[in-house]
Amino acid sequence: MKFKKRTEQVQILVPPDFTPEIQKIEHRLDPLTGSRCLINIKRSQRAKQAERLARPLDEIAFGTAPGCYFCPEHIQTATPRFPEDICLGGRISKGESTLFPNLFAFGGYHAVATISRKHFLNIDEFTPRMIEDNLTVCIEWMRAVHRKTPRAAWPVYVWNHMPPSGASMVHPHTQALVRTMPTAMQERLLKRSAAYHRRKGRSFWEELIETERKSGERFIGENDSLAILASFAPRGFREIQLIFHEPSNLAELGEKQIADLASAVISVLKGYRAMGVGSFNLNVFSGPIGQTLEYYPLNAKMISRPYPQGVYSSDTGPFERLQDEWVIETLPEDVANRMRPFFR
């Protein structure tokens, strides 16, 4: 397995006395997809003018609570229901999680599932039980949808926390989709994984875990079900990969695997909190329901997003949106170093 990178040095004369400074830039390629990023960790020290106007997190968290549809006093009357042939009663609940249809769907089957009764939780305040219950209601719904519509076989699970991550609701929630076709990234990952397996006679993912475990540079930890590492060529800051040994798709996760995923996510969130993170995305990349693919294990990514503070500089500019090149200011090897203690 090759981790391709090219290093460049830029000399800048820095005011006020214009002393020379060398900045190191790494251009890296994702070993499976070829996705490109450039890493300049100096960028994290940029002056961000709008941050002078930052609002305290409490103000954003609690100022948004009145009238929230996801809070317990409104959820029964203000959120939509599924038809009875998908779930009796129109919603699925377990513990603090309640799943219901997304009012503004991306397609035929698109659900929202709350994670907590509380309107706001900081990222280190989630419990393993909350995440397990949330995953469980989403997976139960995915199985029901697939039984009703076998063509709906492509599950997606996302957790956007706080507005900088794309969340429109502050109240903790995830989204579950079951699509009749893969997302562009699902398709790319599956095609590349199949091609790798044909060419090398083994799974890219098994080899990735083995290579990273051996080198140790980006390896963070593992439990019975999955391995956790910092991506070599990230598409987001502090990008973490969670890679299962099996199964290939989300709908087949068992209780123990759900618990192991929840525990890994909790550890990442504690690590993120220690690094000053207040907003993040989690995305699960699943194979199709009903297929066991020896070349593709279920896997997920987490990335940190700008701190929620009213006005902030976006972490996504024209290079990411239009040039398809990811500008990163956190070095994966540093992220792994800082995350590792939370997996001991």
The minimum distance between CB 142 and Zn ion, in angstroms, equals 24
Q: Considering beta carbons, is residue 171 or 305 the nearer one to Zn ion?
A: 171
C-alpha span between 106 and 111 (Å, rounded): 10
Query: Residue 65 or 274: which CB sits closer to Zn ion?
Result: 65
Q: Classify residue 265 by its DSSP letter.
A: H
Q: Kindly tell me which of 112 and 189 has the beta carbon lying closer to Zn ion.
A: 112
* Residue number with CB closer to Zn ion (64 or 263): 64
Nearest approach, Cβ of residue 319 and Zn ion (Å): 22
Q: Of 39, 70, 175, 177, which one interacts with Zn ion (CB under 5 A)?
A: 70
- Nearest approach, Cβ of residue 51 and Zn ion (Å): 16
Positions of E strands within the chain: 5-14, 19-29, 36-39, 92-94, 97-101, 109-114, 154-161, 173-179, 219-222, 226-230, 237-244, 280-285, 299-304, 325-328
Pick the stretch among 86-94, 116-124, 198-206, 301-309 that binds Zn ion (CB under 5 A).
116-124
Residue of 57, 68, 185, 194 that binds Zn ion (CB under 5 A): 68
* Given 25, 41, 57, 71, the residue binding Zn ion (CB under 5 A): 71
Distance CA 153, CA 146 (A): 6
Please give the Cα distance from 264 to 240 (Å, whole number).
Answer: 11
168 DSSP assignment: S
Cβ neighbors of 322 (< 8 A, separation 6 or more) are: none
Whole-angstrom distance, CA of residue 123 vs CA of residue 109: 28
Is residue 78 a contact point for Zn ion (CB under 5 A)? Answer: no
Between residues 73 and 84, which has the closer beta carbon with respect to Zn ion? 73
When CB distances to Zn ion are compared, the closest residue is 68
Residue 96 or 210 having the CB closest to Zn ion: 96
- Helices marked H in the chain — which ranges? 57-63, 72-78, 128-148, 184-200, 204-215, 255-274, 318-321, 332-339
Q: Least distance from C-beta 197 to Zn ion, angstroms?
A: 45
Closest among 60, 89, 255 to 167, alpha carbons compared: 60
> Site size for Zn ion, by CB under 5 A?
5
Cis ω for the linkage preceding 80 (within 30 of 0):
no
Q: Which is nearer to Zn ion, 95 or 107 (CB)?
A: 95
Q: Shortest gap between Cβ of 52 and Zn ion (angstroms)? A: 14
Give, as ranges, the residues between 119 and 148 that touch Zn ion (CB under 5 A). 119
Residue 295's Cα: distance from chain center in Å?
22
Closer to Zn ion by CB, 41 or 68: give it: 68
**Min CB(70)–Zn ion separation in Å:** 4
Contact status, residue 312 vs residue 221, Cβ threshold 8 Å: no
How many whole angstroms separate alpha carbon 73 and alpha carbon 32?
A: 47
Q: Can you give the binding site for Zn ion, defined by CB under 5 A?
A: 68, 70-71, 119, 171
